[in-house]
Structure formats: structure tokens, C-alpha cells
Amino acid sequence: MSPEKPPILKVSKLVKRFGGFHALDGLSFHVVPGEILGLVGPNGSGKTTAINVISGLYAPDGGEVVFDNVSSGGVASHKLVHRGINRTFQVPKPFLSLTVRENIQVALAYGGATGTPPSIAELLDEYRLKEVADRPAADLNSAQQKMLDLTRALATRPRLLLLDELAAGLNPAELDWIAGRIKALAATGMAIIVVEHLMGFIEQITDRVIVLNAGKEIFEGTLATAVREPQVIEVFLGGEHAH
């Protein structure tokens, strides 16, 4: 990562409310091409809401999201996909009755990928889905469905990839393998935001983390520094551990 690169995504004072609950309360951060940024925080801190707003599933109630120098807050998801944003879901959401290959074909046909489209055979091979390529997605186990979510996102050639708890439920060998894949994607210049609870995994892959609590950023820096911050320790473990 070269720090002088201009950010591909800038989030400023982002607000998202659900009734009286402020899921995001003035969140600001940025990510540059080739960077892997971790979003961490306790349950309900706003990590997934941030991903949902950036990917167009929710319109923000305040603040601004700028992707590639163009305002993208409140823009329909499919348009953001065409601009170069994609994501995976905490609970994978494949098209269950379609085959694995068809799941990826939809994204290849409609994802608006510019340049040479990714090869479906390579995607299947790289993400260990070759053997199940012609099976309905409903037949896949949870880890395979997560990989299918990821390959469907990659088929659209995103420049910003949002990974929502991709690692949850993977075994140690799979974690090492997927960490390598994510780093390889970032090395191509793709900006990646990772929401994750597995701190070892976050430490292994991220350049920088943002720690969220109650929809606000409480820390920005490396995970190694974050774990020594009293405020971070307090939100994760409770006040008595902070000092």
C-alpha cells in the first residue's frame, strides 16, 4: 500500500437511523486502492450497516459516501456494482435453485465488468468450486456458499470489495488459504474492507483497522495498537479491564 494514493472511497459523517436508533452516528473513514481495511467492533456497533450503506442497500440519513470521486450515497445497488463496488453477505445469499456456474454467469452477464471479463473456469478453480460447478447452490455447505458469494462479487470486477464476516465458520487451513486470496486481490489494486470478529484473521490480512462503537469511530490504526487502547478494551471487554 502506498499512503500517497488518493482514496477510492471516502465516507464523511455518515448517519443511518432505524427509528430512534442511530446505527451510524457520524462515521468517517477512507480507503485507498490496494488497501485492506478492517472494520471491527462489538455486535451492533454499525459495521454491517456501514457496508449496507456503502453498497447501496440502505440510503444514508446524513453524511456523504464518495466512491471514485462521485457521490454514491443512496444510489441503487446495481448501479454501484456497475461503478465498481461489490460485497459478500454475513449469511451467504446465493441463488439457491441455480447451479454454481449459473450464479456466476448472472454476475458476468449483468455486473458491468469493464475490460476482459474474468474467466468462469478460473474463478471456479481459484475458489474451490470446480467440483460443484453444476450443482444447485442449495447443495453447497456454508463455506462453499460463502465462496460462491465471493466469486459472484469478483465476477463483476469490483475496485472496492466489502467482505462481511467471510471468515466466520472456516477452519484454520481454510482461513490461511482465504487470507492469501484476499491479499492477492489487494495486490492487484483492489480496495478491500473486511468486517470480521476473528481478530487473528484481521491481524493477518489488514493494513489498518477502524474500531466502531455505537455507530462512531473510536480508534483508527493497526490492530496491534488498537488492542492496547483503553477505550477499545472497554467496549470489547467492559470497563474493569480497561486499566
Residues that bind other proteins (CB under 8 A): 55-57, 76-78, 81-82, 86-87, 89, 93-98, 102-103, 105-107, 109-112, 149, 152-153, 155-156
Q: How far is the CB of 220 from other proteins (least distance, A)?
A: 28
Which CB, 162 or 211, lies closer to other proteins? 162
Which CB, 57 or 242, lies closer to other proteins? 57
Q: How far is the CB of 1 from other proteins (least distance, A)?
A: 26
Q: Cβ of 198: how many Cβ atoms within 10 Å?
A: 16
Which CB, 5 or 93, lies closer to other proteins? 93
Which CB, 96 or 187, lies closer to other proteins? 96
Q: How far is the CB of 219 from other proteins (least distance, A)?
A: 30
Which CB, 41 or 84, lies closer to other proteins? 84
Q: Are strands 9-18 and 21-31 parallel, antiparallel or unpaired?
A: antiparallel
Q: How far is the CB of 161 from other proteins (least distance, A)?
A: 11
Q: How far is the CB of 102 from other proteins (least distance, A)?
A: 6
Q: How far is the CB of 42 from other proteins (least distance, A)?
A: 25
Which CB, 145 or 206, lies closer to other proteins? 145
What secondary structure, in 3-state letters, does the chain show? CCCCCCCCEEEEEEEEEECCEEEEEEEEEEECCCCEEEEECCCCCCHHHHHHHHCCCCCCCEEEEEECCEECCCCCHHHHHHHCEEECCCCCCCCCCCEHHHHHHHHHHHCCCCCCCCCHHHHHHHCCCHHHCCCEHHHCCHHHHHHHHHHHHHCCCCCEEEEECCCCCCCHHHHHHHHHHHHHHHHCCCEEEEECCCHHHHHHHCCEEEEEECCEEEEEECHHHHCCCHHHHHHHHCHHHCC
